[in-house]
Amino acid sequence: MTDIIKLLPDHVANQIAAGEVVQRPASVVKELLENAVDAGATHIKLLIKNAGKTLVQVIDDGKGMSDTDARLSFERHATSKISTADDLFSLHTKGFRGEALASIAAIAHVELKTRTEDEEVGTRIEIEGSRLKTQEITATLKGTSIAVKNLFFNIPARRNFLKSDAVELRHIIDEFHRVALAHESVSFMMYNNDGELFNLPESNKRQRIVNIFGGKTNEKLVPVLEDTEIVNIHGFIVKPEFAKKTKGEQFFFVNDRFIKHAYLNHAVTSAFDGLLPDRARASYFLYMDVDPKTIDINIHPTKTEVKFEDEHAVYTLMRAAVKHSLGQFNIAPVLDFERDTNFDTPYSYKNKEAESPRVEVDQNFNPFKTENKVSSSNFTGSHFHKNESTGWEQAFEGLDTKRSIRKSGFSHLQVEVDQETETIFEEHESRGNSGKGMDQSRGGATYQLHNKYLVSTIKSGMLVIDQHRAHQRILYEELLKNITVKESVSQQLLFPLRLDFNASEIAIFAQLKESLENTGFVIDLTEEHMVGISGIPSSIQESEVSIVLEQLLDDVQHEVPDAGFSQTDVLAKSMAKSMAVRPGESLNEASRDHLLNTLFACKEPNLSPFNKKTFITITVDELDRKFSAH
């Protein structure tokens, strides 16, 4: 029997390893930025072209590499961070596996320029698909510059799985934020297609957050500080009133490394219990300092998942720290048992003795001194006198017979009561006509069930419509038409809205500006970190504008449309989802009928924009079978 197991060539093994380390351009950005930080750089510049598909370049002023180190850095499992397995439990650096550059070089064209401070000249290396093309001496600045070009050039299947430029750029910006927030003492700059997106000078943590997410963020932050033997927690949480409906800014850092941890996220969310608006999410920037020996960060290729030695204790401390911060800064109501000085005795009365109250009585008062005879027509001492106005008899005039009661003014009495539930029967022919109304194409009346479904009769039985999905379909087709035909109706605002967004979100609005204006928005992007809204579509309320735009940003940034779908389609879907009536909203009769009629005037009334059923039918035969079964 011949042997069938064989060793893979190095370049194939590197391509397979690259599948774990490099999933998209953002993965390259993360690895290169972390290497620059580990090199002790104080200024780091990131250059992106075509969302990283054409170019990802990181330039730093770190300590650089010698010519030998520069060549070894592209070998698998070559690293200066660890020597033994025990070093994995005392890590203070970001990258340590020694797979990053080898994996990147296996699937891209890489150019490396580096020079140490002691050397007069540096080294230039070119590698294509793990194959060394050039290594030569070059004149370059101190530090390292790595340019990664044509990512996945030799794996076209992987390249085809990349999403649109907007989605890939969003992932790159996320990775940039995570590294920049963890290292506020380092200056970061980011350029996209030769345009500056971020310029973050050296600062403190609070100022770094403000520089990234906009000047208005400063007033939203509440500091958190808790030092214990297990973990030191510091950072900021965002005030509940500024919480976003979409997934907000949620950042955990352990020893200056960004992590994702659902258990700790639950701890923060539970601390906000009862304070967040409906469907809003807590935002936070929380940093934890722990002993490296008490965590394991080598459980995932991307090193964004961490296992704590005592997760329950960290959970409890995190929740307590956030609750304490909310109470300390009067964000949450608290029970205060401390003495309030406002209730102290005034200084001028402090040494005076209390005096007993005095009761004065008029000894000469005689209540019978001016007594008059009491009769049925004159009540002494009251306001009822026979000579005054109408007299007490008139209050009961006309009440001597049942007929007079019917003639009284109670027929015009108006009483405030809850809205009466309409009957679910068709009264005009339900009684005594053996249900003739069921034979009509539609009964003409539409009823609302549990403020969620619309019910109406049809010839074959009954029609049940999901009001939320049906309205989504109506709005979706209306928005698509407005964007395409450019004939939308806009209502001008008396006082324009000014909404605060960060630089990357402003860039997305710039891309969507024309499409948004075709839906009815009037947008001004002249101010930095600010979007001015002077006109809105006639179908939404002014109070809903921020919710619609935040949802739109979230959809464009994170929701990936199917292949072939345009940005216009994503915009129409997102706005339809935000503007549609919600389950639980009560609709009047006119609104119910209008929604029903408009739905069946749509091109595709059966499905919502997200391919879910908008209505179902229940036939008379199905109802008969249900009753006959019992």
CATH number of the domain that 266 lies in?
Answer: 3.30.230.10
Return the structure tokens found at 624. Answer: 């008969």
Q: Which domain holds residue 39?
A: 10-200
Give me the torsion for CA of 576, 578, 580, 586, rounded to 10°: 180
How far apart, in whole angstroms, are the C-alpha atoms of residue 596 and residue 590?
Answer: 10
pLDDT confidence of residue 344: 65
pLDDT tier at 421, thresholds 50, 70, 90: very low
Q: If you search the block for the tokens 């209540």, which residue do you land on?
A: 367
Q: Same domain for 169 and 36?
A: yes
> Per the domain annotation, does 62 fall within a domain?
yes
The whole-number average pLDDT for the span 550-561 is 70
Domain closes at, from 169, 200, 231: 200
Q: Same domain for 162 and 231?
A: no
Residue bearing the bigger pLDDT, 221 or 527: 221
How far apart, in whole angstroms, are the C-alpha atoms of residue 220 and residue 238?
Answer: 5
How far apart, in whole angstroms, are the C-alpha atoms of residue 595 and residue 488?
Answer: 20
Polymer length of the chain? 630
pLDDT tens across 215-260, in order?
788 888 999 999 999 999 999 999 988 887 766 688 999 988 898 8
Rounded mean pLDDT of the chain? Answer: 79
For the chain, the farthest-separated pair of C-alpha atoms sits apart, in whole angstroms, at 135
CA neighbor of 277 nearest in space, from 320, 248, 318: 248
If you ran DSSP here, which 8-state letter would residue 117 be given? Answer: S
> Per the domain annotation, does 50 fall within a domain?
yes
If you ran DSSP here, which 8-state letter would residue 560 be given? Answer: P
Task: Indicate the range of 177-186, 428-437, 447-456, 524-533 predicted with least confidence.
Answer: 428-437
pLDDT confidence of residue 348: 67
CA neighbor of 146 nearest in space, from 102, 202, 97: 102
Q: Same domain for 142 and 59?
A: yes
If you ran DSSP here, which 8-state letter would residue 157 be given? Answer: H
Q: Same domain for 154 and 266?
A: no
> Per the domain annotation, does 630 fall within a domain?
no
> Per the domain annotation, does 337 fall within a domain?
no
pLDDT score of 59 more than 50: yes
Task: Indicate the range of 179-193, 416-430, 582-596 predicted with least confidence.
Answer: 416-430
Q: Looking at the DSSP assignment, which residues form a beta bridge with residue 616?
A: 464
Domain closes at, from 289, 306, 328: 328
CA neighbor of 21 nearest in space, from 331, 418, 300: 300
pLDDT score of 402 more than 60: no
pLDDT score of 481 more than 90: no
CA neighbor of 463 nearest in space, from 580, 577, 592, 584: 592
Q: Same domain for 508 and 569?
A: yes
Q: Are 548 and 580 in contact (CB under 8 A)?
A: no
CA neighbor of 460 nearest in space, from 444, 434, 439: 439
pLDDT confidence of residue 417: 45
Q: Are 45 and 166 in contact (CB under 8 A)?
A: no
Q: If you search the block for the tokens 């005037």, which residue do you land on?
A: 601
Task: Indicate the range of 60-74, 337-351, 538-552 predicted with least confidence.
Answer: 337-351
Sequence-distant (≥ 6) Cβ neighbours of residue 446 within 8 angstroms: 454, 455, 456, 589, 592, 593, 596
pLDDT tens across 270-280, in order?
998 888 877 78
Q: Same domain for 85 and 227?
A: no
How far apart, in whole angstroms, are the C-alpha atoms of residue 587 and residue 604?
Answer: 23
Return the structure tokens found at 544. Answer: 């809903």
Give me the torsion for CA of 146, 148, 154, 156, rounded to 10°: 160
How far apart, in whole angstroms, are the C-alpha atoms of residue 404 and residue 409?
Answer: 10
Domain closes at, from 302, 328, 354: 328
pLDDT tens across 292-322, in order?
888 877 655 566 778 888 889 999 999 999 9
Cα distances from 332 to residues 279, 326, 445, in angstroms, run: 19, 5, 48
Return the structure tokens found at 480. Answer: 């698509």
Q: Same domain for 171 and 289?
A: no
> Per the domain annotation, does 340 fall within a domain?
no
- Quote the crossing angle between the two packed helices 467-485 and 503-519, to the nearest 10°: 90
Q: What's the chain's Rg over C-alpha atoms? A: 37
Query: Which runs of E-coded beta strand occur in 397-489?
Result: 442-449, 453-458, 461-466
Q: Is 117 exposed, middle or buried (0-12, 13-18, 19+ CB in 10 A)?
A: exposed
pLDDT score of 169 more than 70: yes
How far apart, in whole angstroms, are the C-alpha atoms of residue 417 and residue 424?
Answer: 20
Three-class SS of residue 354?
Answer: coil
pLDDT tier at 144, thresholds 50, 70, 90: very high
> Per the domain annotation, does 534 fall within a domain?
yes
Q: Provide the number of structural domains found in the chain.
A: 3
Determine how many CB atoms are found less than 10 A away from the CB of residue 539: 18
How far apart, in whole angstroms, are the C-alpha atoms of residue 621 and residue 270?
Answer: 50
pLDDT tens across 336-381, in order?
556 566 666 666 666 777 778 888 888 888 877 765 544 444 444 4
> Per the domain annotation, does 577 fall within a domain?
yes
Q: Same domain for 487 and 530?
A: yes
pLDDT score of 207 more than 60: yes
Q: Same domain for 270 and 226?
A: yes
pLDDT confidence of residue 225: 92
- Cα angle 439, 442, 446; round to 5: 135
Ramachandran region of residue 52, left (φ > 0), alpha (ψ -120 to 50) or beta? left
Q: Are 615 and 464 in contact (CB under 8 A)?
A: yes
Q: If you search the block for the tokens 């972390």, which residue do you land on?
A: 34
Q: Same domain for 210 and 170?
A: no
> Per the domain annotation, does 161 fall within a domain?
yes
Give me the torsion for CA of 269, 270, 271, 274, rounded to 10°: 100
Q: Distance between alpha carbon 7 and the CA centroid of its chain, in Å? A: 48
Please report, rounded to a whole number, the percentage of residues in the chain having pLDDT higher than 70. 76
Sequence-distant (≥ 6) Cβ neighbours of residue 151 within 8 angstroms: 22, 25, 28, 52, 53, 56, 107, 108, 159
pLDDT confidence of residue 380: 45
- Helical (H) or strand (E) element with 49: strand 43-49
Q: Same domain for 86 and 157?
A: yes
Return the structure tokens found at 191. Answer: 């350029």
Q: Which CATH number do you get for residue 499?
A: 3.30.1370.100
Q: Same domain for 241 and 194?
A: no
In this structure, which long-range contacts are made by residues 118-127, counting pairs with CB atoms below 8 Å and at least 24 apart in sequence? 119/64, 119/66, 122/64, 123/65, 123/66, 123/67, 123/70, 125/70, 125/71, 125/74, 127/74
